[in-house]
Amino acid sequence: MNRDLKLVILAITTWGFGEGLFLLFQPLYLEELGASPLLIGAIMGGIGLAMSIAHIPAGYLADRFGRRPLLIAAWLLGSTALWVMALANSIQIFVIGSALYAVTAFVISPLNSYVTAARGKLTVGRVLTITSAAFNLGAIGGPLLGGWIGENIGLRYNFMLAAIIFVISTLIILNIRSQPVENFPPGEKRSIKREIFTARYIRYLQVVFFVMFALYLPQPLSQNFLLNERAVNLIQIGILLSVRRAGVVFLNLTLGRLSASFGFILAQVAMGLFTLIIWQGTGIPWYILGYMLMGSYQTARALVSAQVRSLVSAANMGLAFGTVETTNSIAIILAPPIAGYLYTQNPETIYLTSFILICAGIIITLLFSPVKIKSVRA
């Protein structure tokens, strides 16, 4: 593991701690500011829209002009956005800050490209799951502290402390070095059109969209469900959110050792179990197990990107990562409003619907994914 990869891991671990303080408490803070479940779902969907805007341009720019400038821009924008949220005194200002923060999701494409190029002897799946694990390792402590702060001082202070931590993370990322821009070898006829706009690649994106929609649907209002329907308090929710992060670390490091295609199937199975446990579970021990398995959503995202790398050349790597992240973001846009509607009809309906869709997603992956499902050994 070279110097730059270590610095990136340190920066995202620090960022993960800061994000863990506030991100999954956003629906609860919006409720505290006066938003209804339906409005929360709509706002979260709008945040998903903001997340989707810049993935493809960011991936393209990373391929053509370098990855480091985009990483630094994302860190600076994220720090600014969090200060806006921390200082907001109305839903409108808070949503503006949330939208700005969501735009920083464009960092995923150049970040995945950067660490893939810096991976050395690691496989693509391994370096992407390690990177995701590092982020979530940092985020384990955030919800624990955030739950305590929210319960005893106020959720607003979660955002203030996180903003300070983001400044530290930004100072770290400023020290990474540039990487050379990848180009097609002379004489090769491959292009964006030949690699990205093909029936095989479009089919892959369709599979990804359905699966990631199904995996995300039960998540946006799960904290609200436990708080309002199962009498779980904020401190306990903070513990559960930390357990979720621990689950990401464990599942990334475990499933990341398998082939990306097989690990992707197992991640879907784990999310299916999560929906059943939250729906039918009857106490904190069950919810702890459920939130541990909930971490498989992040594992699935990393393994999706690892699979797409096998479909394109290095020169189009960032753009390929960008199209996948945009597909993920469209799922994130659509799922929260639907979850909000289901919640207002009957909160438990979210989990029954999600379980059915996740089962369908596993079947679709096995039947229609253009990436061959390989054996357990990577």
pLDDT by residue for the chain (378 residues), tens digit each?
A: 788 899 999 999 999 999 988 887 887 888 888 777 777 777 776 776 666 677 777 777 777 778 889 899 999 999 999 999 888 888 888 888 888 888 888 888 889 888 888 887 777 778 888 898 888 888 887 877 887 888 888 888 999 999 999 999 999 999 998 887 766 555 554 555 566 667 788 888 899 999 999 999 999 889 889 988 888 888 888 788 878 888 988 998 898 888 888 999 999 999 999 999 999 988 899 999 999 999 999 899 888 888 887 777 666 777 777 888 888 888 888 888 899 899 989 999 999 999 999 999 999 999 988 777 765 544
* 113 inside domain: yes
pLDDT of residue 276: 95
Q: Which domain holds residue 281?
A: 3-175+194-368
Q: Which distant-in-sequence residues (6+ apart) come within 8 Å of 287 by Cβ?
A: 226, 230, 232, 240, 277, 278, 281
- Residue 15 has what pLDDT? 92
Collapsing DSSP states into helix, strand and coil, what is residue 222? Answer: helix
Number of domains in the chain: 1
b vs e for 21-60, b when ≥16 Cβ sit within 10 Å of the residue's Cβ?
bbbbbbbbbbbebebebeebbbbbbbbbbbbbbbbbebbb
**Is residue 184 a part of any domain in this protein?**
no
pLDDT of 153 reads 87
pLDDT for the residue numbered 191: 55
Residue whose C-alpha is closest to residue 336's, from 22, 52, 77, 93: 52
The alpha-carbon radius of gyration of the chain (Å, integer) is 20
Which of 348, 328, 68, 67 has the alpha carbon at shortest distance from 216?
A: 328
Q: What is the pLDDT of residue 174?
A: 94
Q: What is the pLDDT of residue 7?
A: 92
In a domain, 185, yes or no: no
Asked whether residue 375 is assigned to any structural domain, the reply reads no
Whether residue 109 lies inside any domain: the answer is yes
pLDDT score at 378: 43
377 forms beta bridges with: 258
Angle, CA 75 vertex, CA 295 and CA 307 arms, to 5°: 45
The secondary structure of 17-47 as a DSSP string is: HHHHHHGGGHHHHHHHTT--HHHHHHHHHHH
**CATH number of residue 155's parent domain:** 1.20.1250.20
Give the pTM. 0.73
- 359 is a domain residue: yes
Kindly state whether residue 377 falls inside one of the protein's structural domains: no
In a domain, 143, yes or no: yes
**pLDDT value at residue 182:** 67
Residue 187 zone, left/alpha/beta (φ > 0; ψ -120 to 50; rest): left
